[in-house]
Structure 1
């Protein structure tokens, strides 16, 4: 059993949606039709991202450079990673975004050891992406939920931090949720430990006060009691 802090990336670790910025800059115009169909419920987020990435016309170096130029960390993120390290919490990134921008952004801040699960990309005439479950099975939907279930099944205590609709199913499985935007709106009055945040300094303040109590509570419950 581990204590995990599970982060979304776009609009959470970073202030903006890097994937959307990338599509706006480098994808053929058809990506906007794909986005509209995704918002209408025709595609999962994984299917939408794969289809939109197929329309991107730029090489790996260009995309990575663009990410480094545009992505801005949400204030307090590095401090929260330090807090987690010193307090025996494991930070993990679980994102529907792409490694081609998540990796360079995190690595640029010397976070190369930060565990990240995201879309794995490659270029073979066109850009491609694959979302694998914790068991290595390719997924067309439910990527974040698959990891949330795996963490739960291992007995991990998860603090989930996110903002969007794609975070909702995974966040529902977490004992503690820090939420912004759509995620906050959807879970308000539904989740017993839902905390709003705008910066990661807000998260640290709650963790400092509440984490010992959460840990004591989770430690007092064993699988045999269920």
Structure 2
């Protein structure tokens, strides 16, 4: 079993990219965000342009990302599911932010699939997209469907998605089980995708504890 975990707004209590931009970027990032939400530019174009507006060196941003708060229920959830499942953080966010926050919280061994942040100089940051697929329906920097398929081929399925937003929408249509919050709930409802609503990882844990893992019987509670 594979748990594909979104980061911003799911494992992290807030959107870390938005937090970064609010504290360390030129205010022009907000217009780019509006263009993305309204569908005028892709998620990849939006993030790449926004990151170029950020000012901060490796030390400054590392200190900032260590302040990221994770879902307080995640520790107990992970201890329970790691006995029978493989977990991976698959995010259309920034690898440096995610890895820094996970390391600070004692979860540095969790595999992370995300966009790569490069420190060119204190006044210049760039992104690269090692998990991009040009035919990705979501237009994201990270094609979560492709990563999930690769993980399932390596570790075995089913695929369980835990997510909250637009970057999870494509995988929601492919995953065997979907835990949804935020705008992902509305997407699942509009597309008639079966899903289990949740607010935090304590809710996910309650649902998983009711499953008959040995007989592969999975249902909402």
Q: Same fold (TM over 0.5)?
A: yes
The 2-side partners of 1:172 and 1:151 are apart by 17
Asked whether 1:178 is paired with 2:179, we answer yes
Q: 1:180 to 1:214 in 2, by over 3 A?
A: farther
* Residues 61-80 of structure 1 aligned to structure 2 (within 5 Å): 61-69=59-67, 71-80=68-77
Asked whether 1:96 is paired with 2:98, we answer no
1:23-71 deviation per Cα after TM superposition (whole angstroms, max 9, x unaligned): 01111121111111111212221221111001101111111211222x2
4+ residue runs over 6 A deviation: none
Q: 1:64 to 1:214 in 2, by over 3 A?
A: farther
SS across alignment from 2:206: helix
Q: If each structure's helix is expressed as a fraction of its own residues, which one has the higher value?
A: 1
1:100 shift after superposition: 1.8
1:98 shift after superposition: 0.5
**Ranges in structure 1 where 5+ consecutive residues have no aligned partner:** 218-226
Q: 2:112 matched to which residue of 1?
A: 116
Count the aligned residue pairs. Answer: 210
Q: 2:193 matched to which residue of 1?
A: 191
SS across alignment from 1:148: helix
Q: Is the 8 A contact 1:160 1:176 kept in 2?
A: yes
Q: Is the 8 A contact 2:132 2:143 kept in 1?
A: no
Q: 2:130 matched to which residue of 1?
A: 132
Q: 2:162 matched to which residue of 1?
A: 161
SS across alignment from 1:12: coil
Q: 1:146 matched to which residue of 2?
A: 146
SS across alignment from 1:150: helix
Superposition TM-score, scaled by structure 1 size: 0.85
1:214 shift after superposition: 6.8
1:163-211 deviation per Cα after TM superposition (whole angstroms, max 9, x unaligned): 001110012110101000110111027123x111111111111111125
1:126-150 deviation per Cα after TM superposition (whole angstroms, max 9, x unaligned): 2111121389x9x863522322343
Asked whether 1:83 is paired with 2:80, we answer yes
Let me know the Cα RMSD of the aligned residues. Answer: 2.3
Superposition TM-score, scaled by structure 2 size: 0.87
Q: Is the 8 A contact 1:148 1:173 kept in 2?
A: no
The 2-side partners of 1:76 and 1:152 are apart by 25
Q: 2:16 matched to which residue of 1?
A: 18
